[in-house]
Amino acid sequence: MSYEVLECDLLVVGAGMAGLSAAGWAAERGARVIVVEKAPQIGGSAFLSGGVLWTAASPKKMELYGAGEPALGEVICERYPEAIAWLRRRGVDVSKTMKVLHGYGYQIDIVEHLKGCVDLVEKAGGHVVFETTVSTLLQDKEGRVTGARTVHQDGEIDVHAKWTLLATGGFQGNPELRSQYIHENARDMLLRSNVYSDGAGLRLGREAGGEVRGTNRGFYGHLVSKPNAWGEERYFTMLSQYHSDHALLFNEQGKRFCDESVGDHTNTYHTVQQPHARAICLWDARVHAEHATKPIVATAPPMDKFAVAMENGGEGIIAQNYAELGNFATAHGFDGEAMLRELSYYNDQANNGWEVMTPPRTESCLPMDRAPYYALIVYPAITFTFGGLTIDTGAQVLDNKGRAVPGLLAAGSDAGGAYGVGYAGGLAMAMTFGITAARTAGWQ
């Protein structure tokens, strides 16, 4: 059987942050690029995001908070200034600097950036095609990836390319892979991302000889209150309990199970491993005033997260005393008495022995003793996976012996290892590795 054939310098699979950043960068330097996108439009999770392009303030902080492979974390820090300069040079709207979690960044016009990349691709004679995916990568006798067989409802086309970049956005949309690579409880986790990223990049990379970092069980996500109906994109931020790093979390046995103060994203990771993958998130009047009603970044609107959760199906209580908290916990299948004992231990240690508390509190350790108390049952929701294809610092996919699979690149959430059980920005990771991939393909 013969297939229609197209030729290009760079074939990109996935038109999100990593894929289009690579495509635009290469096209601006003269490459003919073909981008295939499964959805009927560009943007992926990047278009659902707040567009805050941020990272850790130094490689040392990246190591601490991203907690992935130092060499990959360094690539993000090193390439970040170049990425910002590229946006500014093209006239993309970039805000003033803002503090974001344990780093810094900018609010950018993400739509302008990605649409601008499409324009660059088309201007250089390339194409971005929709509702198209890839059935298999093409390889020559030596194992070099030479393009891919693309599939559209009208038929199949072989795209021959000097380099192929996998940028399909991770495997969070695939319950089977979530349970295999993250935790068996992760099979039923709520999806807080685009619906198309279901592990195609992993499958294609692996079939071509690439290795998957199966030991990296990390992912980025947030704890959310119970929704009336999940799926509407506005819930992704509305119901996220970003302030859980200032609260306490208790599992069904009434036990704390992690250092909550590290961040809501790591709390999400730890909660999926708890019985029935849920927890009670508890905070007091001080935390409510200082964190649960304040925006996570300067550009987001303030909102009372507890009130919004309760208006949309949340299970919670505003309690005037500890006894009411215990009753609420017991009524919802948690061990209320054990939870109150644990809370009392926490308050004692916060006052007299934070340094020997277990689990520890490394970032903020103040007693929860100002009524009223807020308790909300929370569930993990996943935004993207960390355990993708093994890559080197040039974004080349590696096999299980550490050798590059020739011609094959991966960036963004399809690539594994940049983060461990930590997080320092998804957009910056995708954009910097997208640019890195384009450079490795020869477009400096």
Ligand X SMILES: Cc1cc2nc3c(=O)[nH]c(=O)nc-3n(C[C@H](O)[C@H](O)[C@H](O)COP(=O)(O)OP(=O)(O)OC[C@H]3O[C@@H](n4cnc5c(N)ncnc54)[C@H](O)[C@@H]3O)c2cc1C
Using CB under 6 A as the criterion, which residues of the chain lie in contact with ligand X when the complex forms? 13-19, 36-39, 43-46, 48-52, 133-134, 167-169, 192-194, 196-197, 200, 236-237, 383-384, 412-413, 425-428, 430
Strand intervals (E) in 320-420: 373-385, 389-390, 396-398, 404-410, 415-416
CB closer to ligand X out of 141 and 234:
234
| Between 16 and 422, CB nearer to ligand X | 16
How far is CA 434 from each of CA 12, 46, 170, 276, 409, rounded to the nearest angstrom? 10, 13, 14, 37, 9
- CA–CA distance, 279 with 249 (Å, rounded to integer): 6
CB of 237 to ligand X, least distance (A): 6
- HSE-up of residue 376 (Cα within 13 Å, Cβ side): 31
Q: Toward ligand X, which CB reaches closer, 198 or 252?
A: 198
Would you say 78 or 233 has its CB closer to ligand X? 233
Q: How far is the CB of 124 from ligand X (least distance, A)?
A: 20
CB 61, min distance to ligand X, A = 16
For 131, other C-beta atoms within 10 Å of its C-beta total 14
State which residue has the least CB distance to ligand X: 16
Provide, rounded to whole angstroms, the least separation between the CB of residue 194 and ligand X: 5
- CA proximity to 124, closest of 5, 28, 11: 28
Whichever of 190 and 428 has its CB closer to ligand X, that residue is 428
Output the six-digit token pair for 266: 């790591």
Compute the least distance from the CB of residue 292 to ligand X, in Å. 19
Shortest separation between residue 202's beta carbon and ligand X, angstroms: 10
Cβ-based nearer residue to ligand X, 133 or 432: 133
CB of 374 to ligand X, least distance (A): 24
CB of 19 vs ligand X, minimal distance in Å: 6
Q: How far is CA 264 from CA 147, 234, 259, in A?
A: 40, 19, 10
The burial of 228, by beta-carbon neighbours within 10 Å (0-12 exposed, 13-18 middle, 19 or more buried), is given as exposed
From the CB of 110, what's the least distance to ligand X, in Å? 8
| Omega before 372 within 30 of 0, i.e. cis | yes
The gap from C-alpha 274 to its chain's centroid, in whole angstroms, comes to 21
**Of 174 and 349, CB closest to ligand X:** 174
- Close Cβ partners of 89 (under 8 Å, ≥ 6 residues apart): none
- Report in angstroms how near the CB of residue 42 gets to ligand X at its nearest: 6
Q: Quick one: 277 or 389, whose CB is closer to ligand X?
A: 389
Q: Which of 226, 438, 196 is nearest to 312 (CA)?
A: 226
Instruction: Count other C-beta atoms under 10 Å from residue 70's C-beta.
Output: 12
C-alpha angle 194/195/198, rounded to 5°?
A: 110
Contact 210, 410 (CB under 8 A): yes
Residue number with CB closer to ligand X (236 or 328): 236
The 3-class SS string of 112-160 reads HHHHHHHHHHHHCCCEEECCEEEEEEEECCCCCEEEEEEEECCEEEEEE
- Name the residue nearer to ligand X (CB basis): 328 or 433: 433
Buried b (16+ CB within 10 A) or exposed e, 284-319: bbebbeebbeeebbeeeeeeebbeebbebebbbbbb
